[in-house]
Structure 1
Amino acid sequence: MIVNGIKGAFRIGQTLSVLGKTGVNWVRGDRPPTPRLLRQTFENLGATYIKLGQFIASSPTFFPPSYVEEFQNCLDRTPALPFSVMKRILREELGQPLDRIYSEIDPVPLASASIAQVHSAKLVSGEDVVIKIQKPGVENILLTDLNFLYASARILETIAPKLSWTSLSGIVEEIQKTMMEECDFIKEANNLKTFRQFLLDSHNDGATVPMVYENVSTRRVLTMERFYGVPLTDLESIREVTSDPERTLITAMNTWFSSLTQCEFFHADVHAGNLMVLRDGRVGFIDFGIVGRIKPDTWQAVSDFISAVMVGNFEGMAGAMVRIGVTHETIDVDQFADDLRRLYHQMDHMVPDTPYLAEEAEDEVNNILMDMVKIGEQHGLHFPREFALLIKQFLYFDRYVHILAPEMDMFMDERLTMLH
């Protein structure tokens, strides 16, 4: 307890030191636009603030567009820690010599982010796996930083109660819940098992998720089946494993859409890196660190919104968004519908005739999402974050249709079950 207190005090000192350095640079004339300055400061502050930056990037319902846009550039690729450090954590967590579990572990990581590092390995029983290992001290840093942020938010709310009718401390609490869940690999393992069961129950053999090796997984170590495949947006490579890329995309979309009603959560980060086409043609959903849950009382409005989108009923879209959002004002639904109609026509003009890069698709998705939320907020609406996460996945799939199946109508194709 005392050690954690000392570490916490040291962390607050580090934070104040970085903030002080930023202030000195500002006085000396290094004054980039405020959103960029904040993003650069967050990256210097490390794990918590990088995650906070990503939260801002995916939460146009909470933050101004200029900040949401800037934080799209918040990189969560951090220098890899030496394998000796990660090996020590593995030994501590698994409680036995590693050569009894793994016949080999690649010391060069596949990926290194702020919270964890991922290494490929082989079990002594012969299976290829990936090991997600939490970096040392991450949880203590997150708790210290988030408590510091929460205290700062409460002070700000006291000093400037009219700063925003959205509670700052409430936002920090939401961020804390999201981040602490990402630190608990048992929760991620349970998400993977739940989604696997959903696939079994729905007799879906066209999609899969990595199998978790529970006997060699803990709160800080997650050992999973290793998938070999290509990203969903790599059309040329997909053609090497399947003669019908369109059918593969339909499988991915039908799996995700059916999870909205048949699974207790939906995958809330279906960007190109998290959807793979495996060598046997199945779609692999990976990385279940971020999932979304819709409250039952909000679900009917969300369902009505999706149905309205599918038939291009802008009045229905506007009405459903009013029921989903939180407002202190009377909304002119007809005017709101007209504004959504204008945005929809702009989207049609934005779609290029030639294939484009997945990164461009991601930027476009973020921009459209921000525009939709902006229109809602112009009419006095504030949306729950889950709604933004849901719509973002919709927009990802819309972009994938334009890349993999440009002739397909996402809302009229009978092969797409959607919510029917």
Structure 2
Amino acid sequence: MTNSSTSRNSAGKKVATTAGPAGSDSELSKLFNVVSSGIKGAARLGQTATVLSRTGINWLRGQRPPAPQLLRETFESLGATYIKLGQFIASSPTFFPPEYVEEFQHCLDRTPPLPFPTMKAILEAEMEQPLDEIYSFIDPVPLASASIAQVHAARLVTGEDVVIKIQKPGVENILLTDLNFLYVSATILEKMAPKLSWTSLSGVIQEIQRTMMEECDFIQEANNLETFAKFLRDTDNDDATVPVVYKNFSSRRILTMERFFGVPLTDLESIRQFTPDPERTLITAMNTWFSSLTQCEFFHADVHAGNLMVLRDGRIGFIDFGIVGRIKPDTWAAVSDFMTAIMVGNFEGMASAMARIGITHVEVDEDQLAKDLKALYQRLDLSEMPDPTDLDPSRADDDVNALLMEMVRVGEQHGLHFPREFALLIKQFLYFDRYVHILAPEMDMFLDERLHRLH
């Protein structure tokens, strides 16, 4: 006989708990979960082996694309974890060869949607009450479908328009199985090739695992949204906003939040319908993001046009806080100095900032680094940013990362190893530079006094 009680899980939901002797229903349940996870993990390894075998057979049959392309196509066949890993490679020129970084720009996180009944079953399992008591309408056609989650438009019974982010079935188990496999493989590879220990492949895998598991935890994303909303309130910023989270209708696998209606920050003609001053709107977006670097616990680490919206009332809407970055104030100051130096062509300033940002085991010759950066500047006109009229995201990312890769490559030749946050920050800078070209072509991003980048 056991005693039962109720407690709340991390989502605030009631869950039944039991207390009893060894061999009770609770212990059997734990054992079942362990066995179930083991079976699912073994099945996933079997799927991985099947995909790799098929790739090998195709290779033997003569289907031999360049190695970077082959790896990207294999990753896409392997699904969620490897797609995310491909995107990590694409945004991390610090860790990977240029040809792989360039190829993985094409590794898009858009996947065919799962049937609505499948996603509805997950939603029903996560909610404590019937769905028709929460939502008066759910659109069965998703607004978006990515490797980890699917997003559906809906309306609450109380009348509010919302979106529901629903985690796809089995994603977390797949991620853990894949990443544990990759970690073991990386550790073995480092022992076999000690020179790789400086790049720390196993450390990279651990970082990927941390960020991916954060993306799977919608409670964490909800907390990120609320933290950013508090930052906006604390800084008296009424011109920017984030979606309201409906915590009673959210969990670790479900996120119900306010639906924003607006247009991307790159849609100049539509923006003019919502605000008479697109330039001021852009300045608001940039000042909000710059302020978050020093006044918020994190910064939004993916400010592409789809995640920055101009709402119908003229406010800037920041959405999708699944990927955030954290940076120390002194590192941020060095990155800001680095970008300013790039814009004015100050090679000594660029070298000094890179030496402050990077991690190194050797003494850096800043004078020689400055000369090499100048040579790079003469070979590639770094004052010429990506074409702002080209709004193809994959092409824009190619341009952004091409610039970043060349600068990082020069730094690495001088023994500098850059943290991933450096790449994330520079990428956001280049996004904003593109928006300046579209919305305020006469504005100088680094000299305009209306931008409080360093304050």
**Fold match, TM over 0.5?**
yes
**Cα offset for 1:343?**
4.8
Deviations 1:116-160 (A, max 9, x none): 000000000000000000001100000000011111111111222
- Relative to structure 1, the CA distance from residue 350 to residue 393 in structure 2 (aligned partners, 3 Å threshold; closer, same or farther) is closer
Relative distance call for 1:8 and 1:293 in structure 2 (3 A) is same
Distance 1:171 1:97 in 2: 42
- In structure 2, the residue matched to 1:121 is 154
Matched, 1:373 2:408: yes
Corresponding residue SS for 1:328: coil
Maintained 8 Å contact 2:343/2:383: no
Corresponding residue for residue 420 of structure 2: 385
Counterpart CA distance in 1 for 2:328 and 2:49 is 39
Counterpart in the other structure of 1:59: 92
Specify the SS of the correspondent of 1:61.
coil
1:13-60 deviation line (CA, Å, top 9, x unaligned):
110111111111111111111110000000000011011111111111
1:210 CA drift (Å): 0.6
Q: What is the deviation of 1:363? A: 2.7
Q: Distance in 2 between matches of 1:95 and 1:103?
A: 16
What displacement does 1:375 show? 1.8
Task: State whether residues 340 and 446 of structure 2, in contact with CA within 8 Å, keep that contact through their aligned partners in structure 1.
Answer: no
CA distance in 2, matches of 1:54, 1:285: 21
Which residue type is aligned with residue 209 of structure 1? V
Is residue 390 of structure 2 the alignment partner of residue 356 of structure 1?
yes
5+ residue gaps, structure 1: none
Does the Cα contact within 8 Å between 1:129 and 1:226 map onto a contact in 2?
A: yes
- 1:155 pairs with 2:155: no
Quote the residue 2:231 is aligned against.
Answer: 198
> Once the 2 structures are TM-superposed, how far is the Cα of residue 192 of structure 1 from its aligned partner?
0.5
Checking the alignment, whether the CA contact within 8 Å between 1:361 and 1:399 is kept in structure 2 is no
Residues of 1 paired with 2:136 and 2:198: CA distance?
56
1-structure distance, mates of 2:230, 2:421: 23
Q: Which residue of 2 aligns with 1:226?
A: 259
Q: How many angstroms apart in 1 are the aligned matches of 2:185 and 2:169?
A: 26
Structure 1 residue corresponding to 2:145, chosen from 98, 104, 112: 112
Give the SS at the match of 1:381: coil
Deviation at 1:303, TM superposition (A): 5.1
| Counterpart-to-counterpart distance in 1, 2:77 and 2:364 | 42
SS in 1 for 2:383: helix
CA distance in 2, matches of 1:153, 1:256: 36
The CA deviation at 1:306 is: 5.1
- Which of 58, 68, 84 aligns to 2:101? It is 68
Matches within 5 A, 1:210-359: 210-295=243-328, 298-302=331-335, 304-305=337-338, 308=341, 312-341=345-374, 343=376, 346-349=381-384, 355-359=389-393
Are the equivalent residues in 1 in contact too, given 2:41–2:174 (CA < 8 A)? yes
The whole-number CA distance in structure 1 between the counterparts of 2:57 and 2:296 is 51
Q: Please give the TM-score of this superposition, normalised by the length of structure 1.
A: 0.96
Distance 1:341 1:108 in 2: 52
The structural deviation recorded for 1:395 is 1.0
Does the 8 Å contact 1:275/1:283 carry over to 2? yes
User: Which stretch shows the higher mean deviation, 75-84 or 136-145?
Assistant: 75-84
Q: Residues of 2 paired with 1:253 and 1:314: CA distance?
A: 25
Give the equivalent residue in structure 2 for 1:78: 111
CA drift at 1:408: 0.8
- Partner Cα separation in structure 2 for residue 338 and residue 250 of structure 1: 34
Deviation by residue 1:163-222 (Cα, 9 ceiling, x = unmatched): 352111111111100100000001100110011111111111111111111111100000
- Structure 2 runs not aligned, ≥5 long: 1-33
* Larger radius of gyration between Structure 1 and Structure 2: 2
RMSD over aligned Cα atoms: 1.7
8 Å Cα contact 2:386/2:399 also seen in 1: no
What TM-score do you get using the length of structure 2 for normalisation? 0.88
The question of whether the paired residues in 2 share the 8 Å contact of 1:356 and 1:403 is answered with no
Once residues 273 and 135 of structure 1 are traced to their aligned partners in structure 2, the CA distance between those partners, rounded to angstroms, is 21
Q: Describe how 1:23-102 pairs up with structure 2 within 5 A.
A: 23-102=56-135
Displacement of 1:324 in angstroms is: 1.5
> Aligned partners of 1:166 and 1:30: how far apart in 2?
31
- Alpha-carbon distance change, 46 to 266 in structure 1, aligned in 2, over 3 angstroms: same
> Partner letter of residue 182 of structure 2?
L
Range 228-237 or range 365-374, more displaced: 365-374
Q: Deviation of residue 330 (structure 1)? A: 2.7
Look up the match of 1:138.
Answer: 171
Structure 1 residue 378 displacement after superposition: 2.1
One-letter code aligned to 2:189:
L
